[in-house]
With several copies, the nearest count.
Chain A
Amino acid sequence: MGHVVIDVMLKPEILDPQGQAVGGALPRLGFEQFTDVRQGKRFVLTVDGDVTDAHLAAARDAAEKLLSNPVIEDVVSVRAAGADEDPDQ
């Protein structure tokens, strides 16, 4: 079994209330070094067998059509999961 990882983030110019809330909480917990936080989504898609180029192409297509809202989000990356990222480990 292989896995495709798709990362989706809000476009930089779009307000990110979620990231802001996290960014506001971090200093209260003593983390002062982070000047900004943005929160996005990560999808892991499972395929039978190894991840092929066809899988990646389909995933890219799905990312644009379904997994992201092009009005406010960008698909940041679509890639095969590294061995160390296997979610079934």
Chain B
Amino acid sequence: MTQQLNRPAVDTVEHAATTPDVDQPWAELGLKADEYANIREIVGRRPTSAELAMYSVMWSEHCSYKSSKVHFKLWGENTTDEMREKLLVGIGENAGVVDIGEGWAVTFKAESHNHPSYVEPYQGAATGVGGIVRDIMSMGARPIAVMDPLRFGNLHHPDTQRVLPGVVAGVGGYGNCLGLPNIGGEVVFDDCYQGNPLVNALCVGAMRTSDIHLAKASGVGNKVVLFGAKTGGDGIGGVSVLASETFDEGGPTKRPAVQVGDPFAEKVLIECCLDLYKAGVVDGIQDLGGAGLSCATSELASNGDGGMQIELDRVPLRDASLRPEEILMSESQERMMAVVHPERLEEFLAITDRWDVEATVLGEVTDGDRLVITWHGDVIVDVPPRSVAHEGPTYQRPLERPAYLDALQENGTRTLAKPSTGDALRADLLTLLASPNLCDKSWVTDQYDRYVMGNTALAMPDDAGVVRVDEETGRGVAVSTDCNGRFAKLDPYAGAQLALAESYRNVATSGATPLAVTDCLNFGSPEDPGVMWQFREAIRGIAEGCKTLGIPVTGGNVSFYNQTGDVAIHPTPVIGVLGVMDDVARRTPSGWRTPGQVIYLLGTTRDELDGGEWANVVHGHLGGHPPVVDLAAEQLLGEILVNASRDGLVDAAHDLSDGGLAIALAEATLRHGVGARVWLDDVAARDGIDVFTTLFSESTARAIVAVPRSEEVRFTDMCTARGQVHARIGVVDDQTDGLDVQGQFTVSLEELRRAHQDTLPAVFGR
């Protein structure tokens, strides 16, 4: 009763219709004048404050992709029918779904949580993981693994000490508690990320092909159910300007600036959802992420065939002072929305009950074409749902190749001083091995549970994470994420393809056949024509590259405005490639352990040091042209590696990327502490380069493999028959302490280990 009296008046549709001249804070909400005018036209009057809240958040860059959308047609244009064959659900849904055979489907997607993780590293990263996991759940899949591509500023900058440990603890704290193995990711340091760390999170889910669920509300009379955590004032900073307008004295209570995750609630929600799917009581489902109920209701309704009616006052609240506008926009975590047939409602609620998950019927699917939301009986929203969810503004932003690029590309590594003696090569190897980007990452990855679920066949520090999907047959998937932002800075088209190539190569190296791609495109401001040009080049690079490789992009995420002042981060199009393997027990690990096995170098090395780690670490240099992309060579190499795994021809394989052959040899040696003797003069002569270049060049489409002597002839015959360039460059040898690069230098295991392992603990402690 008293509550009734204290409730301030709300801005109803009726009221809005009679008060056309009310001044509305559209600019504060991030809308442009023409966008506001457009909204007025759509609703045929001024919007209510609740409607304005919904449009403003759904038409934001983050939700509407208004700057990037026009370039997305490149995806479709570059996807052939053949590529579409394995694609069960494509771009546009919560996450893409691919067919991996034998009735199994896999869904995977990456998302960014960059800005929140800078503000509050632990919670930002934790809720980033939580969000992407719910995306995967909303496809009807059981999440089976997570990955975390991370980028930070300078390792030695004091703020990195604040951000990195918090982010890592947050990724671990949330993912570990959910019981999802973390099977890979990246840790990259570059000054360009100092004020804009990148926290991307990827989740993989699996399901039977028959169990795919889509986010749509159809079937008139079906119930709309909100379930999971209560709604609080999380993440509604912006919209509080609206709420305060209607507030009487005192104003709204404080709204939290950050969202706090509750992984336990999410774990229970996962199990609850899976039980709901199993029982077949869900007609449509949508996760609540960015834009909360605004997004869930408008997208569900817009993807369905009717309208929707919602009683907003039924939403269970954590904070009773929340206003309707705020409830619509709250980004409280660990919530889902389902569409349920009335006859199945009881069963639905029995399952949520069993898991102690709060579930509330908010309304139902109607036969109109309007999304109508009421607040204690008053209509506060009455809009066409498509106009909110899908018909936001799009911009063809100006693009222009940055003027600095010519000078940058002109300034290659040719003139840099290079080591010429064995001792100098050795010193550079150790320097690189200890450098922030190439050092051992176990300080980070040991904080992640890689074993939970018992299906992990490969994880860090191997080239790809590999998990079993089908326990009967061992069928499973391999995933890797990669991006070298320096390459993308030098040439965004090539840089994006290089990220794709590296990720593809990592997956193939583990023995899996690459099948599909997701991306997380981290860029500066789209209002900067130079950034927009980088963005368009990157998308074009990925789309055309995928077409060449014959694997489709299934979905992804765009994160703009990663810049400090007018300085943008390096363009960072993170690529995730997913591959399939009939039996993951046959995966190829990255380190050798059997003495006597022969080491082969696959692929050709060119003088390609521009943008690479040697130039970066030894000279602090960035300039020139990134390595040449050769996707045909990547495909051939991939086939060789996959066949070698299937036929048992190799016992270990490690791809060559950052730091080149030198680092790959050191890593393969360090993995199990078994040494190797290597000779490089012949292969250097073959490729017309010196030993230094052979060791440190970052030419693509290369890998090293360890071949059992009994398989050597079969292996080399296969390479010869298929035209794969290969050279016998060494032998695994437990009598050699560490690495012996003959005629150049030796370096002991202990020295390698110390260089590799001490870097992160020296900064962050034990």
A and B touch in the complex (CB under 8 A): yes
Report A's interface with B, CB cutoff 8 A: 10-17, 20-21, 24, 69, 71-72
Are A13's CB and B256's CB within 8 A? yes
Beta-carbon contacts of B646-687 to A below 8 Å, as 1s and 0s?
Answer: 000000000000000000000000000000000000000000
Are A15's CB and B264's CB within 8 A? no
Query: Given that A71-B119, A71-B120 are contacting pairs, would A14 and B260 also be in contact in the complex, using a CB cutoff of 8 Å?
Result: yes
Query: Given that A72-B120, A72-B123 are contacting pairs, would A15 and B257 also be in contact in the complex, using a CB cutoff of 8 Å?
Result: no
Which residue of A13, A17, A20, A71 contacts B233 across the interface (Cβ within 8 Å)? A13
On chain A, the residues within 8 Å of B254 by CB distance are 11-13
B255 interfacial contact with A, CB 8 Å? yes
Q: What are some 13 contacts across the A-B interface (CB < 8 A)? A: A12-B254, A13-B253, A15-B232, A15-B234, A15-B256, A15-B260, A15-B333, A20-B262, A24-B356, A69-B120, A71-B257, A72-B256, A72-B260
How many residues of B are in contact with the other chain, CB < 8 A? 24
Beta-carbon contacts of B281-303 to A below 8 Å, as 1s and 0s?
Answer: 00000000000000000000000
Residue from A12, A14, A16 whose CB has the most chain B CB atoms within 10 Å: A14
Are A15's CB and B120's CB within 8 A? no
B245 interfacial contact with A, CB 8 Å? no
Docked CA distance A78–B598 (Å)? 67
Docked CA distance A20–B356 (Å)? 13
Docked CA distance A12–B321 (Å)? 13
CB within 8 Å: A-B pair count: 43
Report B's interface with A, CB cutoff 8 A: 119-120, 123, 229, 232-234, 253-262, 264-265, 318-319, 332-333, 356
On chain A, the residues within 8 Å of B260 by CB distance are 10, 14-17, 72
Tell me the nearest residue of chain A to B258, going by C-beta. A71
Known contacts A10-B260, A15-B229, A15-B318; can you find 11 more A-B pairs with CB under 8 A? Answer: A11-B256, A13-B232, A13-B255, A14-B260, A15-B259, A15-B260, A15-B332, A17-B260, A17-B261, A71-B120, A72-B260
On chain B, the residues within 8 Å of A12 by CB distance are 254
Docked CA distance A14–B567 (Å)? 33
On chain B, the residues within 8 Å of A17 by CB distance are 260-262, 264-265
Docked CA distance A10–B258 (Å)? 12
On chain B, the residues within 8 Å of A21 by CB distance are 264
- Return A11 CB to nearest CB of chain B, in Å: 7
Tell me the nearest residue of chain B to A20, going by C-beta. B262
Query: Given that A71-B120, A72-B123 are contacting pairs, would A13 and B319 also be in contact in the complex, using a CB cutoff of 8 Å?
Result: yes
- Return A48 CB to nearest CB of chain B, in Å: 15
Docked CA distance A74–B621 (Å)? 45
- Return B552 CB to nearest CB of chain A, in Å: 39
On chain A, the residues within 8 Å of B258 by CB distance are 14, 71-72
- Return A40 CB to nearest CB of chain B, in Å: 14
On chain B, the residues within 8 Å of A16 by CB distance are 260
Per CB-CB distance, the 9 closest pairs between chain A and chain B, nearest first, are: A17-B262, A15-B260, A13-B256, A71-B120, A14-B256, A13-B254, A14-B260, A71-B258, A13-B233
On chain B, the residues within 8 Å of A71 by CB distance are 119-120, 257-258
Docked CA distance A14–B119 (Å)? 15
On chain A, the residues within 8 Å of B232 by CB distance are 13, 15
Docked CA distance A71–B166 (Å)? 13
- Return A71 CB to nearest CB of chain B, in Å: 5
On chain B, the residues within 8 Å of A14 by CB distance are 256, 258, 260
- Return B591 CB to nearest CB of chain A, in Å: 33
Docked CA distance A14–B258 (Å)? 8
On chain B, the residues within 8 Å of A24 by CB distance are 356
Tell me the nearest residue of chain A to B254, going by C-beta. A13
Docked CA distance A20–B319 (Å)? 14
On chain A, the residues within 8 Å of B256 by CB distance are 11, 13-15, 72
Tell me the nearest residue of chain B to A69, going by C-beta. B120
Tell me the nearest residue of chain A to B119, going by C-beta. A71
On chain A, the residues within 8 Å of B319 by CB distance are 13
- Return A49 CB to nearest CB of chain B, in Å: 16
Docked CA distance A72–B232 (Å)? 14
On chain A, the residues within 8 Å of B262 by CB distance are 15, 17, 20
Docked CA distance A16–B262 (Å)? 8
Docked CA distance A20–B334 (Å)? 14
Docked CA distance A57–B738 (Å)? 56
Tell me the nearest residue of chain A to B166, going by C-beta. A69
Docked CA distance A12–B356 (Å)? 24
Tell me the nearest residue of chain A to B233, going by C-beta. A13
Docked CA distance A16–B253 (Å)? 17
On chain B, the residues within 8 Å of A11 by CB distance are 254, 256
Tell me the nearest residue of chain A to B321, going by C-beta. A13
Tell me the nearest residue of chain A to B260, going by C-beta. A15
Docked CA distance A23–B75 (Å)? 50
- Return B588 CB to nearest CB of chain A, in Å: 40
On chain A, the residues within 8 Å of B123 by CB distance are 72
On chain A, the residues within 8 Å of B255 by CB distance are 13
On chain A, the residues within 8 Å of B332 by CB distance are 15
Tell me the nearest residue of chain A to B253, going by C-beta. A13
- Return A4 CB to nearest CB of chain B, in Å: 21
- Return B416 CB to nearest CB of chain A, in Å: 39
Residue from A10, A21, A72 whose CB has the most chain B CB atoms within 10 Å: A72
Docked CA distance A15–B262 (Å)? 8
On chain A, the residues within 8 Å of B318 by CB distance are 15
On chain B, the residues within 8 Å of A72 by CB distance are 120, 123, 256, 258, 260
Docked CA distance A15–B260 (Å)? 6
Tell me the nearest residue of chain B to A10, going by C-beta. B260
Docked CA distance A21–B268 (Å)? 13
On chain A, the residues within 8 Å of B261 by CB distance are 17
On chain A, the residues within 8 Å of B257 by CB distance are 71
Tell me the nearest residue of chain A to B124, going by C-beta. A71
- Return B761 CB to nearest CB of chain A, in Å: 15
Docked CA distance A47–B262 (Å)? 24
